[in-house]
Amino acid sequence: MTPYVIVLGTAQDGGSPQVNSPPDHPARLDPRLARRVACIGIVDPRSGNRWVIDATPDFREQARDLAAAEPAAPVGKIDGIFLTHAHIGHYTGLMFLGHESMGARGVPVYAMPRMKSFLETNGPWDLLVKRGNIELRALSAGEPVMLADDLRVTPILVPHRQEYSEVVGFRIEGPDRSLLYIPDIDSWEEWDAMGVRIEDQIAAVDVALLDGTFFADGEIPGRNMRGFPHPFITRSMERFAPLPASEKAKIRFTHLNHTNPAQWEDSAERGAVEAAGFAVSKDGAEIEL
């Protein structure tokens, strides 16, 4: 009866395969290899409560998987949604709470101030607020939201494209263990400039699910990827190389683009990640808190 996190998706916002993935993309040839958009659920079997971090375009299937994780609670019961930011893979699943679909009533949606204002003042999201499908609750960086006496979620500001909202990661702390979730960040160096070292954040938790969108420059043919707003996995592995093995073992890369070869278990790139002491996050994985 220990609270836990369940990984509900590990793909970049467009999923894998993406809409423009070629016909020979492995996940087109074998649907069992398809991956859903990055998302995690929090389950407390003591109360039957369950929450999700981010509402993705795969919300329907992820809500189903979350329900299966705690079958004692009613199907479709979601006790809250925490949003990281306003990019399509992270909030557009809210549409399924509207009257055209679920017709939800008062689902708590936790959002930072700009994200909250964005939902309140832009259609069609404002209808979810006006019709009472969702109940917006303000987050503040560094201030925890208590889900139970021994279970809390704390937003952490991270540098990433902020066209419509702030961007946050989350630290989730349970009775015995804790987890850091950062699916999107521009670079670890920009976080350094904000006075936050990723190594310190990793040291403070037991598991760290980190941005692994792209494996390396050259992954997308014909494009110079050096300015892409994500740390390459190869760059992250270089930075984390001095860490002791126990710290490396905490790190699991997530939010992988459909082009990222590390998504395939038999790839040389996946082998390189694991040989270096890290891991790639897996859909369906459960992590006790």
Say yes or no to pLDDT of 183 above 70. yes
- Tens digits of residue pLDDT in 51-64: 999 999 999 999 98
- The parent domain of residue 270 ranges over 4-288
Q: What is the mean pLDDT of residues 140-167?
A: 92
H/E stretch holding 29: helix 26-29
146 closest CA partner among 212, 73, 79, 71? 79
Which pLDDT does position 172 carry in this prediction? Answer: 98
Quickly state the pLDDT bin for 73 (edges 50, 70, 90): low
Residue 271 vs residues 30, 130, 246, 263, 267: alpha-carbon distances, Å: 21, 50, 19, 11, 6
Instruction: Report the chain's mean pLDDT, rounded to a whole number.
Output: 91
Say yes or no to pLDDT of 91 above 90. yes
Residue 139 vs residues 78, 94, 170, 209, 211: alpha-carbon distances, Å: 18, 17, 11, 21, 22
Say yes or no to pLDDT of 222 above 70. no
Say yes or no to pLDDT of 115 above 70. yes
Say yes or no to pLDDT of 240 above 90. yes
Quickly state the pLDDT bin for 39 (edges 50, 70, 90): very high
Total number of domains in the chain = 1
* Neighbour count for residue 75 (Cβ, 10 Å): 10
Taking the C-alpha atoms of residue 233 and residue 238, their distance in angstroms, rounded to an integer, is 9
Which pLDDT does position 71 carry in this prediction? Answer: 72
Taking the C-alpha atoms of residue 208 and residue 247, their distance in angstroms, rounded to an integer, is 9
> Is the bond into 244 cis (omega within 30 degrees of 0)?
no
* Contact of 262 with 212, CB cutoff 8 Å: yes
Which pLDDT does position 217 carry in this prediction? Answer: 79
Q: What is the mean pLDDT of residues 216-245?
A: 84
- Is the C-alpha dihedral spanning 52, 58, 59, 62 positive or negative? negative
| DSSP class per residue in 130-168 | HTTSEEEEE--TT--EEEETTEEEEEEE--S--SSS--E
279-280 vs 251-254, strand pairing mode? parallel
Which pLDDT does position 100 carry in this prediction? Answer: 83
Which pLDDT does position 161 carry in this prediction? Answer: 79
Quickly state the pLDDT bin for 75 (edges 50, 70, 90): low
Write out the two tokens for 37: 């958009």
Taking the C-alpha atoms of residue 222 and residue 232, their distance in angstroms, rounded to an integer, is 17
Say yes or no to pLDDT of 72 above 80. no
CATH code for the domain in which residue 126 is found = 3.60.15.10
Which pLDDT does position 256 carry in this prediction? Answer: 96
Quickly state the pLDDT bin for 101 (edges 50, 70, 90): confident
* Contact of 38 with 91, CB cutoff 8 Å: no
* Contact of 254 with 38, CB cutoff 8 Å: yes
Quickly state the pLDDT bin for 275 (edges 50, 70, 90): very high
Taking the C-alpha atoms of residue 206 and residue 249, their distance in angstroms, rounded to an integer, is 9
Check residues 33 and 157 and name the one with the higher pLDDT: 157
Say yes or no to pLDDT of 81 above 80. yes
